Amino acid sequence: MGSAAVQLLKHHGATVTAVCDTAHLELVKDLGADWVIDYTAQDFTRDEHSDDAVFDAVGKSTFGRCRQLPSPGGVYLSSDLGPG
């Protein structure tokens, strides 16, 4: 789902920051991501810039951890409905 999201967003002119593990860094760059954060090496929730939309394609995080990432008026989306 994340691979498709990166490609779709780039096709529509978005600037994309992707988060993945070390093994997938080059793949995600090749898909078109403008910036790639290796979550095994850095905490992506401490990223200094904000985004219009944050999409958790694999349901590995929570809104609580990511709430500071969207810019004012931005959105957080997740493929996972969360606990319960």
Taking 80 as the threshold, does the pLDDT of residue 83 lie above it?
no
- Per the structure block, which two tokens stand in for 78? 């997740």
pLDDT, residue 82, reads: 66
Q: Structural domain tally of the chain?
A: 1
Per-residue pLDDT of 22-42, as tens digits, reads 999 999 999 999 999 999 999
Residue 7: give its domain's CATH number: 3.40.50.720
37-71 pLDDT, tens per residue?
999 999 999 888 788 899 999 888 888 888 899 99
Q: Residue 25's domain spans which residues?
A: 2-78
Kindly state whether residue 32 falls inside one of the protein's structural domains. Answer: yes
SS3 string of the chain? CHHHHHHHHHHCCCCCEEEECHHHHHHHHHHCCCEEEECCCCCHHHCCCCEEEEEECCCCCCHHHHCCCEEEEEEEEECCCCCC
